[in-house]
Amino acid sequence: MLRTFNTTIMAFLLAIAFSMIIVLFLPFELHNRLLLTVVFVAPIWLGIALWVTQKNNMKRMLAYLTIALIVMVGLIAARLVYGS
Amino acid sequence: MDLKKQNKKNGTAVNIKSFTKVHRKVGVFFMPLLLVIVITGAWSLFRAELLQWQFPHFELGESSFQFTSAESKPAPESKPRKSLQELVNIARDEHGFVYSGFSIHDKERYGDFVLFFNKTDGVENMLFMDPVSGEALDASQASFSETVYDLHLKLLLPSSIGKYLVGLMGLLLMYLVFTGFLAHKNIGKNFVQLRVHKGRQIFATDLHKLLGNWSLLFSGLMSITGALLGLFSIVLLVLAMAAYGGDVKALFADFLGTQPKAVGGVADFISLDSLYQLAQQQWEGYKISTIEIHNYADPAMRVTFEGELMNGFITQQHVTYDAINGGVTFVTDFTDKGAGGYMYSALPSLHFASFGGAWLKLIYWFLTLALLLVMVTGITIKSLRLRDKGFSTSDLIVTQLSQAVILAASIAVVFGVVFTELMNPGDYTTLGLITLVAVVYTLMSNKFKWLSSVTIAGWILVLAGIVVAFKGEVLLMALCLTLGLIWLFSQKVGSMVNKANLSSNKQSSTK
């Protein structure tokens, strides 16, 4: 159960990070990007959660997810600081 | 790692066993909460009807202001409905609804009642009014339909916490639906296979898979849209952080416009009915459902009309008028926001089934029943697997709670809409008492081998359905009967499985 919670929360954080990348980087109009993000958060979360479940190797997965999250946070921060 | 090796041996690319394991554990553990949300969600589809079944003495008029204009004539026997402005005046003068900012909800969600709504300092003030006589529901009578909806929306918890919890349950339901789908090898076969004569144990499993697969799209859609609606504010916070420097208000203002502060004093304003007519002409096929009024009778008065555009795509459109000079101050048009606009604005309509009539709601109802049956047969399969070992304490608690939820929901519905004079389960204390009775009965029935709670729930609903049939309420009868029969059927499957299990035990021991 604890593992499921770990995956759930981690996947949710990652999904939100993904969404922020959509908001910041996609070449559409701002409103369109925002609304698309709202629509896609849950499916992205589901995708990550299913993928993690299927790998079934929690330690390695948590490491992957943490690295992915750090990279994304870096990307978002870079865009917020240097972006127009 | 063992699982991985096994899967490699089987030659399957997907790690099926890990899906099955998670599906079982998560499914059983969250069953009571999910049952509460799904059952109340099913009844919330008929939110408007619940209100009218509970208070049948109101003679209600047409359900929309659209038909009050002079050209369209109401049916001769029905009394004409008061105009929008008249109703607002009555609400202010006779019922003391004197807030400067409030909204008026019309149309299906509240049936033929008109709801005046205001939220001041976190306290919600509601006034349900009969649009024909201007008579209001007694404020001391809690409405069952609102309690059911609150349970579905936020489990009666403080607004944000409850919504997040329900949103998370939506995510989990979505996770369960898809892990369940992926946990089987022959997915195509599961759509058609129902082995009736190969032992009842196989029958229960087949039924679970068959119904699960066919209702997959619906349950997936409901859980995704539900999760999004519940977790909306978290997502908004994040988006505002990325695009508006953390200013959520700026995000809202960009989409919905800002309303000016009250200037003070009284000004003559254009009648709400005229503004309503203007708003209707804004888009073709525009169906207004909510009217928001800001700074009533103030020189800075604004009126926002919210509704759906039924032009093939369902989109939520808003238009705001300056009530003093009739000019448009802000328009939110989701059709000009690209694919994101169309997809986003279809979400709530898809979840609430607000784009169709009674038939669509019935279709949603039956699909929800399928989902409920999938959930209950899931528990049956679980109990079957554990029959020899006995339940672990946590599983035992969770299963009994699920039974109690089903019983409590049935009792509440019967008192909420059929025998309304006896007690009002819209009241939280009464609802709590009903739940307590259901929990106690479930514990006793499991200890003393009485009739199971779910069977009782089924019979209660079936009997209520028969009583209602004599009153001539066809829709309510259909709902009660179908839900009751589903509970009875699920128990039938359970007992069939138990019987079948005895013989299979014998067979395995002889082998």
Q: What is the pLDDT of residues B89-131, one digit of tens each?
A: 998 888 888 888 898 887 656 667 888 888 887 777 888 888 8
- Give, in order, the Cα–Cα distances in Å from B111 to each of A21, B145, B252, B306, B365: 42, 11, 29, 17, 18
The count of residues in chain B is 511
Mean pLDDT, chain B, integer:
82
Which of A9-18, B27-36, B421-430 has the weakest average pLDDT? A9-18
Set of chain B residues whose Cβ sits within 8 Å of the Cβ of A35:
334, 337-338, 340-341, 343-345
Q: φ and ψ at B332, to 5 degrees?
A: -105, 110
Q: B464-487 burial, b if ≥16 CB within 10 A, otherwise e? A: bbebbeeeebeebbbbbbbbbbbb
Q: Give dist(CA B243, CA A79) in Å, integer.
A: 11
Set of chain B residues whose Cβ sits within 8 Å of the Cβ of A46:
171, 174-175, 178, 224
Q: What percentage of chain B has pLDDT greater than the value 90? A: 26
Q: What percentage of chain A has pLDDT greater than the value 90? A: 0
DSSP H stretches of helix in chain A: 2-25, 30-55, 58-82
Residue pLDDT, tens place only, B442-464: 999 888 888 889 999 999 999 99
- Could you tell me the two tokens for A80? 């917020």
Set of chain A residues whose Cβ sits within 8 Å of the Cβ of B174:
42, 46
38-77 in A: which are within 8 Å (CB) of B? 38-39, 41-43, 45-46, 49-50, 53-57, 76
Q: Quote the pLDDT of residue B335.
A: 82
- Are the Cβ atoms of A35 and B251 closer than 8 angstroms? no
DSSP state of B14: S
Closest CA to B24 of B208, B216, B219: B208
- A interface mutation test: which of B15, B164, B235 has the most A CBs within 10 A? B235
Scanning the structure block, which residue is given the tokens 């979840």? B351
Residue pLDDT, tens place only, B18-39: 888 888 888 888 899 999 999 9
Residue B316's contacts (CB-CB under 8 Å, 6 or more residues apart) are B306, B307, B308, B309, B332, B334, B345, B348, B349
- Whether the CB-CB separation of B496 and B200 falls below 8 Å is answered with yes
Amino acid at residue number B407: L
Closest CA to B239 of A16, A64, A46, A68: A16
- B interface mutation test: which of A1, A53, A58 has the most B CBs within 10 A? A53
Q: Give dist(CA B71, CA B76) in Å, integer.
A: 14
DSSP H stretches of helix in B137-199: 144-154, 159-182, 187-190
B174 at A interface, C-beta within 8 A: yes
Q: Three-state DSSP class for B317?
A: strand
Q: Three-state DSSP class for B103?
A: strand
- Could you tell me the two tokens for B383? 């109990």
The pTM (predicted TM-score) of the whole model is 0.86
Give the closest-approach CA distance of A60 to chain B in angstroms. Answer: 12
Across the range B377-395, mean pLDDT stands at 75
Set of chain A residues whose Cβ sits within 8 Å of the Cβ of B168:
8
- Whether the CB-CB separation of B45 and B111 falls below 8 Å is answered with no
Amino acid at residue number B251: L
Q: Quote the pLDDT of residue B511.
A: 36
Closest CA to B53 of B471, B417, B411: B417
Q: Quote the pLDDT of residue B459.
A: 95
CA dihedral (A29, A33, A39, A42) in degrees, to 10, reads: 170
What is the Rg, in whole angstroms, of the alpha carbon atoms belonging to chain B? 26
Give the closest-approach CA distance of B177 to chain A in angstroms. Answer: 11
Domain span holding position A9: 2-82
Phi-psi region of B22 (alpha: psi -120 to 50; beta: other; left: phi over 0): alpha
Q: What is the ipTM of this complex?
A: 0.81
How many angstroms separate the first and last alpha carbons of chain B?
32
A29 at B interface, C-beta within 8 A: yes
Q: Give dist(CA B372, CA B34) in Å, integer.
A: 10
Q: Give dist(CA B130, CA B146) in Å, integer.
A: 17
Residue pLDDT, tens place only, B141-152: 778 988 999 999
B177 at A interface, C-beta within 8 A: no
Please, what's the largest Cα pairwise distance for chain A?
44
How many angstroms separate the first and last alpha carbons of chain A?
44
The third-level CATH classification (topology) of the domain covering B261-352 is Nuclear Transport Factor 2; Chain: A, (3.10.450)
Residue pLDDT, tens place only, B210-245: 999 999 999 999 999 999 888 888 888 878 877 787
Count the domains in chain A: 1
- Could you tell me the two tokens for B19? 């899906």
Scanning the structure block, which residue is given the tokens 């839900």? B483
Question: What is the sign, positive or negative, of the torsion defined by CA atoms of B479, B482, B485, B487?
Answer: negative
Q: Give dist(CA B284, CA B122) in Å, integer.
A: 36
Strand partners, B3: none
Q: Give dist(CA B479, CA B474) in Å, integer.
A: 9
Q: φ and ψ at B269, to 5 degrees?
A: -130, 165
In chain B, which segments carry CATH 3.10.450? 261-352
- Chain A residue with minimum CA distance to B240: A34
Q: φ and ψ at B123, to 5 degrees?
A: -100, 130
- Whether the CB-CB separation of B240 and B247 falls below 8 Å is answered with yes
206-245 in B: which are within 8 Å (CB) of A? 224, 227-228, 231-232, 234-236, 238-239, 241-243
